[in-house]
Amino acid sequence: MKQIGDPITSPFRSVFLFILFFGGIIPFFLAAAPLYSPTWGFRIDIPEGYTYQDGNGKDRFSFFSEWKTSLDLAVYAGTAYTSIEALTLDVQKRLGNQGEVVFFEYRNKKAAVLELVFGAGNDRTGKEGSAFEGWGLCVELEGGGETSPPLLLALAYGPAGTEELEYLHLSALDAIAPTQGDRYTPGPITEFAYPRGKRITGNLAGVNLEVTLREFDAQGAQALVDREFAVLRLYGRSPLWQEAWTRFYRAIYRDSFERLADAAFVLERYWNGTAWKNGTAPEAEAQADRVIAEKALEWVQSFTYERDLLGSDFVNLVSAAFEGRGDCDSRAMLWTIILEQANIPAAIMVSAEYHHAMGLVDLSGTGARFTLDGKRWLVAETTAPVALGRIRADVSEISRWMGIRFE
């Protein structure tokens, strides 16, 4: 089986090859945001440029992209298939698929990754014809009662031999959150390719605090950053570049949120001290929030400024936290996650013109503000030692900034 962490010969699609599907209605609404199924409880943050193409209006949906790539989704419930093994075996037969299937466990749910090589001329030579290559994911959903749990099948593929779009398929599948509890955890493809490993302890940069993480969290987080950056480069001349840029940060936020959970908890306790939220008065809670926001800002401002102009130019958030290094957007996102873990509404703002990123927080007080979703957010400069709400005059033109929320 090809290694998911490495470049792969890619797939696409021009015909809809899907089986029969059963289940309830999934009212998807297309938008530049993750799609959610209230019927089955899963989410997927589909890459920009995909449009709805086909389906039965119940539990089968097919999307087709401007790059001629396809993403097909289906839910099997009831007695359709009794196991993931049975479903994947049937997919293999019906597609005439020559790729391998590997079974694994994703957050206590049975799952499988399918290597897709099917259609005419599917002998991996890339000959002309209706040959397709790609990847598939099958994973258990919640529900089912005494019967087998519903199964979600997702196939991302396209014409054989188009390597430059390989990561688009992997990104689409990794953007699936099978249950509500998976919404802010590493995705299934990242977990499959880069298992997190055992729990270990590490010291956060610049503070004498020991926290818990997993032994391969930094490697997995960086692999996701690199993959999503490869996807983002596809949109360099696309009118959807802003939406794609937003999705890039959403993917990083989702992947890093749980990885940094203990770090955020320990930092919150450390900075708040006796001012820890006790709910005695709104004023005390607001003051505690302010302390956390300011202390977290001072912390990321102390990091070593680092850029990688030959790569993604984004230090993964695990390495940033434990090694004290990163560019503006790494620091802004790390700061945002720390605040969100403490239930303090936070976001980021980015600017292509200024080549800069900053944090945003929903707190009272004086200072520069940015309007996002009807709120006036206080600005946080993460790369210079300035107070919360301060912004340099040469990057203060609001029209050149784009706000991004994650909750």
For the cut 60, the answer to whether the pLDDT of residue 330 exceeds it is yes
**pLDDT at 246 exceeding the cut of 90:** yes
Domains of the chain in sequence order: 35-193 (3.40.1000.10), 232-404 (3.10.620)
Compute the average pLDDT of residues 328-345: 97
Residue 307 contacts residue 327 (beta carbons within 8 Å)? yes
Question: Per-residue pLDDT for 14 more than 60?
Answer: no
Q: Residue 138 above 50 pLDDT?
A: yes
Summarize the confidence of residues 374-382 as an average pLDDT: 96
Distance in angstroms (rounded) separating the CA atoms of residues 363 and 58:
43
- Residue 174: per-residue pLDDT: 98
Name the residue type at position 40: W
pLDDT single digits (tens) 89-112: 999 999 999 999 999 999 999 999
How much is the pLDDT for 282? 61
How confident is residue 275, by pLDDT bands cut at 50, 70 and 90?
Answer: low
Instruction: Please give the model's pTM, rounded to 2 decimal places.
Output: 0.89
Q: Is the Cβ–Cβ distance between 125 and 9 less than 8 Å?
A: no
Q: What are the tokens at 182?
A: 């998976």
Q: What is the pLDDT of residue 313?
A: 74
- 226, burial (CB in 10 Å: exposed 0-12, middle 13-18, buried 19+): middle
Backbone angles phi, psi at 229, to 5 degrees: -70, -40
Mean pLDDT of the region 5-11: 37
pLDDT tens, residue by residue, 54-92: 888 678 999 999 999 999 999 999 877 989 999 999 999
Q: What is the pLDDT confidence band of residue 283, given thresholds at 50, 70 and 90? A: low
- Residue of higher predicted confidence among 278 and 32: 32
Question: In the structure, what pLDDT confidence band is assigned to residue 286 with cuts at 50, 70 and 90?
Answer: confident
The better pLDDT of the pair 276, 203 is held by 203
C-alpha distance from residue 348 to each of 329, 351, 356, 405 (Å): 8, 10, 11, 7
Residue 151 has pLDDT above 70, yes or no: yes
Q: Of the segments 46-55, 214-223, 298-307, which one has the largest average pLDDT value?
A: 214-223
**pLDDT, mean of residues 115-125:** 71
Q: Are 351 and 357 in contact (CB under 8 A)?
A: yes
Indicate the helix (H) or strand (E) that contains 155.
strand 151-159
pLDDT of residue 273: 64
pLDDT average, residue stretch 364-393: 95
> What's residue 78's pLDDT?
80
Query: At residue 303, does pLDDT exceed 70?
Result: yes
Minimum mean pLDDT range among 16-30, 265-279, 375-389: 16-30
CA-based nearest residue to 249, from 43, 407, 50, 373: 407
Q: Which residue has the higher pLDDT, 274 or 352?
A: 352
Report the share of the chain in percent with pLDDT over 90.
Answer: 73
Q: What is the pLDDT of residues 155-198, one digit of tens each?
A: 999 999 888 889 999 999 999 999 999 999 999 999 999 999 99
DSSP sequence for 58-96: SSEEEEEETTS-EEEEEEE-TTS-SSHHHHHHHHHHHHT
Complete DSSP assignment for 116-150 = EEEETT-SSS--SSSEEEEEEEEEE-S--TTSPPP
Q: Stretch 129-145: mean pLDDT, rounded?
A: 87
Pairwise CA distance, residues 32 & 35, whole Å: 9
Residue 24's pLDDT band, with cuts at 50, 70 and 90, is very low
254 three-class SS: helix
pLDDT surpasses 70 at 9: no
Question: What pLDDT is recorded for position 406?
Answer: 94
Burial class (CB in 10 A: 0-12, 13-18, 19+), 385: exposed
How many Å apart are CA 196 and CA 343, to the nearest integer?
26
3-state secondary structure of 279: coil
* Residue in the structure block whose two tokens are 């470049």: 7
Model pLDDT, residue 311 = 56
Task: Answer yes or no: is pLDDT of 123 > 90.
Answer: no
Give me the chain's average pLDDT, please: 87
Structure-derived torsion over alpha carbons of residues 174, 177, 178, 179, reported in degrees to the nearest 10? 160
